[in-house]
Amino acid sequence: MIIETQAITLDENNTDCATKVEILCPQCSRDVDEFELAAQKCSDCGADLSDPTQHVAVAVTSVPLFGITF
């Protein structure tokens, strides 16, 4: 299962970055769906999904620095 969020500008100085979380079976590394998570059991290998593996990606946006160069 993949959960994605979009970047949100909170104000001129703060932005919540976009994220992507991939939830995998800790035993077979297969992508699991919400029904398997609810049942807490991988339908492929039968492993317990009470503590699944998660891969998290964060999209970082640079903010230009403002200043005076002499």
Comparing 35 with 12, the larger pLDDT belongs to: 35
Q: What is the pLDDT of residue 13?
A: 78
Instruction: Give yes or no for residue 68 having a pLDDT over 60.
Output: no
For 18-56, the pLDDT digits (tens) are 999 999 999 998 999 899 989 999 988 989 999 899 999
Q: What is the pLDDT of residue 1?
A: 87
Better-predicted residue by pLDDT, 59 or 12: 59
Q: How many Å separate Cα 69 from the centre of its chain?
A: 39
Q: What is the pTM of this model?
A: 0.69
